[in-house]
Chain A
Amino acid sequence: MLEVENLTVAYGDILALQDVSFFLEAGEMVSIIGANGAGKTTLLNTLMGLVKAKSGRALYVEPSKDGGNRGRDILQLPAHERAALGIRIVPERARVFPNLTVEQNLRMGVYGLSGSVDVERAFGEVYELFPVLKERRRQAGQTLSGGEQQQLAIARALVSSPRILLVDEISMGLMPKLVDLVFSVLKRLNDEKGLTILLVEQNAVKALAIAHRGYILETGRIALEGKASDLSQNPKVREAYLGGDAAGGSV
């Protein structure tokens, strides 16, 4: 569904991503594991169109009705056109619109889609997944707790019925109970609705536990790839990302 080839991203002279290649099949959940500064957020932001790529391609193959599969390099499109294709992001630190209410934040999730999405139903579904959002629907985004903002960020991405969901470091700063809730919601969406999810995480234990496949990102390069179950057994991975203090990762 998404095929990334030799993606390179630089901030000035500093290479943030170097020749990164990976793919994402329709209906798959893929985790990209890496320590702080490995380039995980850069990767997702580049796919969403918030950061410019220096070189490389990201072919998005639309599941078209006529059976043909035309690939399209999304790196050439501005962010809002990628959103229209069905690529949505749950960004690092949620980034809800601080002065919009919860409901207005969700309305932004279906911006321009009122013709193609059943808004009432979509809102009903996310309110069912995250009941606290329904309670707080008239409150401004900035008045929510960190965990509630994360839930709102997920809900805001889901109401559009995305084709590909990019999830950035969702476990960061959340209470363990909420991390469990959020991961189980993602797993259910993937299992039951076949939603294609690309997850980047520092929390390797959780991320590999729910994913089909995984990649290890180290200082801007893909260091390892494989089935999630294999990766979590790999001694090198265990030492670097799963040992003792899994949440801390490497320094």
Chain B
Amino acid sequence: MQLLTEHLINGLAVGSIYALMALGLAMVYGILRILHVAHAGVYAIGAYVGLYTFQATDSFLVAIAVAMAACALVGVAIEKLVYYPLLKFPPYVPLIASIAIFLSIEELCRIVAGPYILGFPRRLALDSLTLGPVSLGGMQILVLLTSLVILLVLWFISDKTEVGLAMQATSQDMAMASAMGVDTKRIISITFALGSAVAAVAGVLVGIYYNQVYPTMGAVPAYKTLAIIVVGGLGSIPGAVLAALLLGLAEALLIGYAAIPLPRDALAFIAMIIVFMIRPQGLLGKKTR
């Protein structure tokens, strides 16, 4: 029983990190219909910037903030310099560009930081928490709390502010949104900034959780998050969060707890194939688009 709850909590923590990564991808797909593979590169940059800032300042909050700001800039640069000029071409063109950016970021990280696995200089001093039979590690509390805060802030922005409403309208019908007075170019940039900042948080959290930051750390998330947004329903943000949490839990329970002899990273794709077969629009996706 205790083993089960430990796996459950671990699954929830991993799932919420997946959710933070997949969110930006779902937002970008929703607004531009681009599969933003380079998002995983942005996430790796976030981890590095967070690590270096943490080394310099010794503060988790400053590290997160600086990483978010840096990634927001990188995300907007990718959007303005690469995607926007390519929008008039068929969707595979920006997709290929995106893969190229992703590989370039990996190489850049290797050149700048070296091909090593870097760790955080010291473990964050976090107390663990025991609630009856359940014991939460300090890392898990940090990951769960940070993710929860970020998800709440994003929900608030998208549901309760005018900018958020404009983001939703723009992703549903860009031309009509502009006819309502929305500067859709600005809204697209805000979307990239937000999504990339959230990816930075995921990068820092993964770096701390596994105590590993390395140039190719985005490789597995790059395709795993694609599977997540397909399972959740392309373009559906709640769907992406739900699919991410379910995947984290499924990985922890099936591979970790039940010890099914499968590679952990295969699970996302098995889920994607099942979704394609029985519910192509995804868990929370719309039927037609």
Cβ of A138 under 8 Å from chain B = no
The A/B interface has a contact count, at CB < 8 Å, of 70
Distance in Å: Cβ of B185 to nearest Cβ of chain A? 8
Cβ of A156 under 8 Å from chain B = yes
Cβ of B5 under 8 Å from chain A = no
Instruction: Check A95/B180 contact, CB under 8 A, given A100-B168, A111-B166.
Output: no
Cβ of A104 under 8 Å from chain B = yes
Identify which of residues 130-162 in chain A touch chain B, using a CB-to-CB cut-off of 8 Å.
156, 160
Quick one: which of B173, B178, B181, B182 has the most chain A CB within 10 A?
Answer: B181
Contact (Cβ within 8 A) B162 A111: yes
Instruction: Check A80/B162 contact, CB under 8 A, given A50-B178, A97-B173, A100-B172.
Output: no
Secondary structure class of chain B's binding surface, majority of residues: helix
Cβ of A57 under 8 Å from chain B = no
What 1/0 mask marks residues of chain A from 104 to 131 whose CB sits below 8 Å from any chain B CB?
A: 1001110111100000000000000000
Which of B165, B176, B177, B179 is in CB contact (< 8 Å) with A104?
A: B165
Which of B177, B184, B286 is in CB contact (< 8 Å) with A108?
A: B177
Which of A100, A104, A111 is in CB contact (< 8 Å) with B182?
A: A111
Cβ of B58 under 8 Å from chain A = no
Instruction: Check A98/B181 contact, CB under 8 A, given A108-B166, A111-B162, A111-B165.
Output: no
Residue of A with least CB distance to B187: A80
Contact (Cβ within 8 A) B178 A97: no
**How many residues of B are counted as interface, with CB atoms below 8 angstroms from the partner's CB atoms?**
18
Which of B168, B169, B175, B286 is in CB contact (< 8 Å) with A50?
A: B175
Residues from chain B with Cβ under 8 Å of A160 in the complex: 181
Which of A78, A88, A99, A156 is in CB contact (< 8 Å) with B178?
A: A78
Residues from chain B with Cβ under 8 Å of A111 in the complex: 162, 165-166, 169, 180-182
Cβ of B265 under 8 Å from chain A = no
Distance in Å: Cβ of A189 to nearest Cβ of chain B? 19
**How many residues of A are counted as interface, with CB atoms below 8 angstroms from the partner's CB atoms?**
26
Instruction: Check A97/B181 contact, CB under 8 A, given A104-B165, A107-B165, A108-B165.
Output: no
Residues from chain A with Cβ under 8 Å of B166 in the complex: 108, 111
Contact (Cβ within 8 A) B179 A109: no
Distance in Å: Cβ of A155 to nearest Cβ of chain B? 13
Residues from chain B with Cβ under 8 Å of A200 in the complex: none
Instruction: Check A156/B165 contact, CB under 8 A, given A95-B173, A98-B172, A100-B172.
Output: no
What 1/0 mask marks residues of chain A from 58 to 95 whose CB sits below 8 Å from any chain B CB?
A: 00000000000000000000111001100011010001
Contact (Cβ within 8 A) B180 A109: yes
Contact (Cβ within 8 A) A80 B182: yes
Contact (Cβ within 8 A) A80 B183: yes
Instruction: Check A84/B181 contact, CB under 8 A, given A91-B176, A111-B162, A114-B162.
Output: yes
Contact (Cβ within 8 A) A113 B168: no
Residues from chain A with Cβ under 8 Å of B183 in the complex: 78, 80
**How many angstroms between the C-alpha atoms of A156 and B165 in the bound complex?**
14
Instruction: Check A79/B179 contact, CB under 8 A, given A104-B165, A111-B165, A114-B162.
Output: yes
Instruction: Check A83/B176 contact, CB under 8 A, given A108-B169, A111-B165.
Output: no
Which of B165, B169, B173, B178 is in CB contact (< 8 Å) with A83?
A: B178
**How many angstroms between the C-alpha atoms of A100 and B175 in the bound complex?**
16
Which of B172, B181, B286 is in CB contact (< 8 Å) with A80?
A: B181
Distance in Å: Cβ of B52 to nearest Cβ of chain A? 40
Residues from chain B with Cβ under 8 Å of A39 in the complex: none
Contact (Cβ within 8 A) B168 A83: no
**How many angstroms between the C-alpha atoms of A209 and B162 in the bound complex?**
40
Which of A78, A98, A108, A114 is in CB contact (< 8 Å) with B180?
A: A108
Chain A to chain B contacts (Cβ below 8 Å), 27 pairs? A48-B179, A78-B183, A80-B178, A80-B180, A80-B181, A83-B178, A83-B181, A89-B179, A91-B176, A91-B179, A95-B173, A97-B169, A97-B172, A97-B173, A97-B176, A100-B165, A100-B168, A107-B162, A108-B166, A108-B169, A108-B177, A108-B180, A111-B169, A111-B181, A112-B181, A112-B182, A160-B181
Q: A83-B179, A98-B172, A99-B286 are in contact. List 7 more A-B contacts (CB 8 A).
A: A50-B178, A78-B178, A84-B181, A97-B168, A111-B162, A113-B181, A160-B181
Nearest 6 interchain pairs by C-beta: A83-B181, A79-B178, A108-B180, A97-B172, A50-B175, A80-B178
